Amino acid sequence: MIVEIDNVFKYYNKIPAINGVSLNIEKSERVVVLGPSGCGKTTLLRIIAGFIQPDEGKVTIDGLVVAMTGRCLVEPESRKIGMVFQDIALWPHMSVYGNLEFGLRAKNISREKRNRLIDEMLEKVQMTHFKDASPGDLSGGQQQRIALARALIMQPRILLMDEPLSNLDLDLNLLLRKEILRMQEDLGITMLYVTHDREEAFSLAMRVVLMGHGRIQKIGNADEVSKYLLDLSM
């Protein structure tokens, strides 16, 4: 088990945004958290990343307790987590190369190794010819590929993705879904992906975690969750 969420609560103004959530994620698993806006899915993602601390409960990553009942025991930068946001958040004053190099430089990786890792990663996301481009010169889909590459180049144990395709048109959305699937399978990385889109969730997930009102309502494969939702609507 690489991620263990044990009876986690998070309150805002005494109202639970996360209400007793427990969830285990296996190594190399692809889990999608599905739910409407305000259901707690992004809060859960940020608790795992370490940006928010649980008011109650415990978070364990790779056997190490990283947060427990309001205390951060391991800082976000030490959790070996990559995160891709909805708003992409590339640094506009840096080239594609600079965006990918930034984290590697912070880890004191040699220039030779940095160049090799960047070239390999750009090839994986099919952006080899854009090394010197500015993010502002890229399309939305290209920017999201670079954001994904920036997260993956740090070789995280877990990749967290917060509605990364929601601002793209349908054709780009479908294309990048395939790219995300291909890269996750090629790299064998553990992935937790958040979305409000059912089709997106069902196409990407090994397991779907359906959330509502801060609670987990159903966990299962796409068919099981789809049937559950259909039964609710009847």
In a domain, 31, yes or no: yes
The token pair at 225 is 């969750």
In a domain, 44, yes or no: yes
Higher pLDDT, 215 or 165: 215
In a domain, 33, yes or no: yes
In a domain, 221, yes or no: yes
Given a contact cutoff of 8 angstroms between Cβ atoms, the answer to whether 210 and 43 are in contact is no
Torsion of CA 85, 91, 92, 97, to 10 degrees: -110
In a domain, 86, yes or no: no
Calculate mean pLDDT across residues 126-131: 91
In a domain, 173, yes or no: no
**pLDDT for the residue 224:** 97
**pLDDT for the residue 175:** 86
Given a contact cutoff of 8 angstroms between Cβ atoms, the answer to whether 73 and 67 are in contact is yes
In a domain, 62, yes or no: yes
On the question of pLDDT at 234 being above 80, the answer is no
Calculate mean pLDDT across residues 119-142: 91
Residue 25 CB contacts under 8 Å (≥ 6 apart), including other chains:
1, 2, 3, 4, 31, 158, 190, 192
What is the rounded end-to-end Cα distance, in angstroms, of the chain? 36
In a domain, 66, yes or no: yes
Which stretch of 7-16, 97-106, 172-181 has the lowest confidence by average pLDDT? 172-181
The token pair at 187 is 């790299």
**pLDDT for the residue 76:** 93
**Among the ranges 22-36, 82-96, 149-163, which has the highest mean pLDDT value?**
22-36
3-state secondary structure of 104: helix
Given a contact cutoff of 8 angstroms between Cβ atoms, the answer to whether 44 and 211 are in contact is yes
**pLDDT for the residue 179:** 86
The token pair at 191 is 């992935």
Calculate mean pLDDT across residues 84-100: 88
Tally the domains of the chain.
Answer: 1
State the CATH number of the domain containing residue 16: 3.40.50.300
φ/ψ (deg, to 5) at 98:
-65, -40
* Average pLDDT across the chain, whole number: 93
Enclosing domain of residue 220: 1-75+192-234
Per-residue DSSP letters for 126-170? T-GGGTT--GGGS-HHHHHHHHHHHHHTT--SEEEEESTTTTS-H
Q: How confident is the model at residue 22 (pLDDT cuts 50, 70, 90)?
A: very high
The token pair at 234 is 């009847």
pLDDT tens digits along 56-84: 999 999 999 999 999 999 999 899 999 99
**pLDDT for the residue 189:** 93
